[in-house]
A = this chain, B = another copy of it.
């Protein structure tokens, strides 16, 4: 069956593009001697994680305990939970995982370290810890400097915790290439400050983990990192495209959708809305619109309701009719994938079954 005959709306995945994207990132990491620990938040799918491991990934990154559980259940080991997990039940589940898998957790507060240690002790488990510093995004992480060493020493003193190194997220490296390049220099300087205090304290760091997809082409210009954690590169999206980090031809995840109404002049309504795309705005390029219509780029997806996408067709040469099948590249593929219980892979347009998004919706 041709994938365009699938019931719509559906999120389709071009496997040839995925393989190319994975091969390219794996080659880049090998070339620069960097470990690749892909973040599974983009695909949330064990079968795709397997493709990443088969290409030499050193382990996986996850954001919540539930994502770690899905990946552990699927047979993966060496999981970095890049999140300062909190809460008795969440930590109990994490300790249960750490009993049977090699786990790493990032954190930035003494109280989180204490609670983590208590949870590990309760199950006689142990976990590796990365101290998180802020490379410039202003989200989580300590200021690079003496606080990082104090935190690392506190971790070393706590039972069940093994200090493994440092972690940060290069989320501030974003935008056009010049902007990304300039920010990568600032990130590199902050990383050097963090490394310097550990050097002074004579505390060697086994792991220094950074990364993101938009920063990946610049990773070699940020010395000191041992591994990167890109996620989006597996599928890519409009955010990646408009930053110049991929071509449209590298966007593997596309929403197949059908025009369901043309009754209102100047409009074509598609059967995909925010429940299909997510409502994440476009954070790069024109910073407007909700997706790129492959068959009619001159039609603008100007608005989403839950089940309706509003195409402004006043400037389009395409003739829109009810029943037309269209293909739309989403703004942000991670949040888009999270809307779907299953995605529909294909190879050169030939449908190849479905893949369960097994780690979808794992908010805890």
Residues of B within 8 A of A84 (CB): 260-261, 322
The distance in angstroms between the C-alpha atoms of A141 and B140, with both chains bound, is 47
> Which of the residues B90, B171, B264, B335 comes within 8 Å of A7, measured between beta carbons?
B90
Interface range for A:
35 or more
- Please determine whether A275 and B112 come into contact, CB atoms closer than 8 angstroms: no
Q: Is A8 an interface residue (CB 8 A)?
A: yes
A279 in contact with B280 (CB, 8 Å): yes
Q: Is B274's CB under 8 angstroms from A322's CB?
A: no
Q: Is A352 part of the contact surface with B, judged by Cβ < 8 Å? A: no
A364 adjacent to chain B (CB < 8 Å): yes
Binds B, one of A178-186, A201-209, A338-346: A338-346
* Chain B residues in 8 Å Cβ range of A87: 7-8, 258
Expressed in whole angstroms, the Cα–Cα distance for A338 and B87 within the complex equals 24
> A64 is contacted by which of B141, B262, B305, B307 (Cβ under 8 Å)?
B307
Q: Which residues of chain B come closer than 8 Å to A69, judged between CB atoms?
A: none
Selected from B86, B109, B260, the residue in CB contact (under 8 A) with A86 is B260
A279 neighbours in B (Cβ, 8 Å): 278-281, 335
B134 with A338: CB separation less than 8 A: no
Chain B contacts for A260, CB-based, 8 A: 83-86, 112, 140
Query: Across the two chains, which residue of chain B brings its CB closest to A261?
Result: B140
A216 CB to nearest chain B CB (Å): 18
Q: Which residues from B are CB-within-8-Å of A41?
A: 306
With a CB–CB cut-off of 8 A, which chain B residues contact A142?
A: 263
Q: How far is the CA of A334 from the CA of B274 in the complex (A)?
A: 11
**Interface residue SS majority, chain A:** loop
A41 and B322 alpha carbons, distance in the complex (Å): 24
Report the bound CA distance from A7 to B334 in whole Å. Answer: 24
B140 and A274 contact, CB distance less than 8 A = no
User: Which B residues lie within 8 Å of A141 (CB)?
Assistant: 261, 263-264
Stretch among A48-56, A219-227, A265-273 lining the B interface: A265-273
**Chain B residue nearest in CB terms to A137:** B264
Q: Closest B-chain residue to A93, C-beta based?
A: B7
Instruction: Check B338–A112 contact: CB distance below 8 A.
Output: no
Q: Are B264 and A139 in contact (CB under 8 A)?
A: yes
Q: Are B89 and A7 in contact (CB under 8 A)?
A: yes
Say yes or no for A14: interface residue by CB 8 A criterion. Answer: no
Determine whether the beta carbon of A275 is less than 8 Å from that of B338. Answer: yes
With known contacts A278-B274, A280-B274, A363-B339, A308–B86 Cβ distance under 8 A: no
- CB-CB nearest 4 A-B residue pairs: A108-B263, A7-B89, A140-B261, A84-B260
- Report which A residues bind B (CB closer than 8 A): 7-10, 41, 63-64, 83-90, 108-109, 111-112, 115, 132, 134, 138-143, 171, 258, 260-264, 267, 269, 271-272, 274-276, 278-281, 305-308, 310, 321-323, 334-335, 338-341, 361, 363-364
